[in-house]
Structure 1
Amino acid sequence: MGREFVTIFDEWVHTYDDSVSGNDAEYRDVFFKYEEILQAVADAAISPVIEFGVGTGNLTEKLLAKGYEVAGIEPNAAMREVTNEKLKDATIIDGDFLEFDLSLQPKSLVCSYAFHHLTDAEKAEAFKLYAELLPAGGRVVFADTLFLSKEAQQEVIDFEKSRGHDNLVEDLNREYYTTLPVMKELIEQAGFTAEFTQLNNYVWLINATKN
């Protein structure tokens, strides 16, 4: 359920905003056009919104700026503390992509840079859960790293290794990144129609509408 990665963010919580701002050369390509990526997610969302993997609240802030009713889910306590301090009116609770307890009836579910913490089997389980939770026409709008094939993924890993980006290479090997064809299949099997838009060399906007 991605909980195995929770403690990693005890370290990231103090540097995350600096990294997404482009100040960390190793992750600059991953977070290229970061603000535009978050805005694309916010613009595709429908209120009320549940946001998974809130982190430091950057996407939450854009959702609230649009006047949406938002409930956030974040499994890392340090991240929740940062977001609650930054956004006094935000509702952020402990939970993850598969286990959460909210009374809000959402019309969209959103996330940025976190769905890869689930295995492909868990991703499929999540979309089946979301199909039960959302009304017809409801949306799942995720921005996350996808690769066109396993071969393309390995090429990226080899390239980043050649650049000496050891931390990024460790991330790419450790976490559960998947391919666009696999993602498309598991989304459609859950009863959604999905559109994919590439936003930088790593990140795609996944816009899935419940049939």
Structure 2
Amino acid sequence: MGREFVEIFDEWVHTYDDSVNGKDVEYKDVFVKYNEILQAVADVATGPVVEFGVGTGNLTEKLLSRGLKVVGVEPNRAMREVTAEKIADLTLIDGDFLEFKVGITPQSFVSSYAFHHLTDVEKARAFQIYAEQLPTGGKVIFADTLFDSEMAKQEIIAFEQKRGHANLVEDLNREYYTTVPVMEKLITDAGFTVEFSKMNNYVFLIDATKK
């Protein structure tokens, strides 16, 4: 995960759950069907699972409810503390999408609302790492903000600007949101097949399977 964004979550840690549950009007459209999106990720995963960007543990809980073994990877200390209080006996380490020592052989890598913290070059490198660690048929299941095209991204930014959503516009311009065609190429170049499912106006489910 792009470590330059880690401190942002010191501010988000106490309000994140309110935001994902629709209480922050500015981000409401980003989190439409939030629980369905997390469930869609959890439903595809097989264990053992490595979850990147655990945050406050919402996806983690859905994975554990399916009886899956989960190791959580979270670079933000405050988020790790919140999740450790919420979920007893969870193995939770300081790490990110590119650097992690989990001590298991994963069958799935999963994440929600976090992969955009990597540049496209870093995203490609991440999938190369996952390909090295997964067995044939292993999964990478990420839910993240993607756009159908660069034009579609700019249209959304202009739309949110007109709505006066300055914080969301800042996020969209600052972080590394990419397009479906770019994501598809970097994933298939790493030796995966991939399917994209649009979950809301911002978020796609990325379901990649190692060949």
What is the TM-score of this pair, normalised by structure 1? Answer: 0.99
Give the Cα separation in 2 of the matches to 1:182 and 1:115.
14
Write the letter of the residue equivalent to 1:36. E
Corresponding residue of 2:114: 114
Aligned residue number for residue 194 of structure 1: 194
1:175-186 matches, within 5 Å, as: 175-186=175-186
**1:130 has 2:135 as partner:** no
Deviation at 1:89, TM superposition (A): 2.0
**1:61: which partner in 2?**
61
Shift of 1:90: 1.1
Q: Distance in 2 between matches of 1:133 and 1:26?
A: 38
Q: CA RMSD in A?
A: 0.5
Residue by residue over 1:37-64, the C-alpha shift from the partner in whole angstroms, topping out at 9 and shown as x without a partner, is: 0000000101110000000000000000
Alignment of structure 1 residues 36-185 onto 2, 5 Å: 36-185=36-185
Letter aligned with residue 38 of structure 1: L
Give the SS at the match of 2:137: coil
| Rounded Cα–Cα distance in structure 1 between residues aligned with 2:30 and 2:67 | 28
- Distance (Å, rounded) in 2 between the aligned partners of 1:46 and 1:200: 24
Give the match's secondary structure for 1:23: coil
User: How much does 1:115 deviate?
Assistant: 0.1
State the alpha-carbon separation in 1 of the partners of residues 65 and 90 from structure 2: 12
Counting aligned pairs with the same residue, the percent is 72
SS in 1 for 2:136: coil
The 2-side partners of 1:88 and 1:6 are apart by 24
The aligned amino acid for 1:67 is G
Q: 1:16 and 2:2 equivalent?
A: no
Runs of 4+ in 1 over 2 A off after TM superposition: none
Q: Distance in 2 between matches of 1:91 and 1:116?
A: 24
What secondary structure is seen at the aligned counterpart in 1 of 2:186?
helix
Aligned to 1:208, the other structure's residue is in SS state strand
Aligned to 2:4: 4
- Find the residue that maps to 2:21 and give its secondary structure: helix
Structure 1: tracts of 5 or more residues without a match = none
Give the paired residue count.
211
Partner AA of 2:155 in structure 1: E
Deviations for 1:157-179, whole angstroms, at most 9, x for unmatched residues? 00000000000000000000000
TM-score (norm 2): 0.99
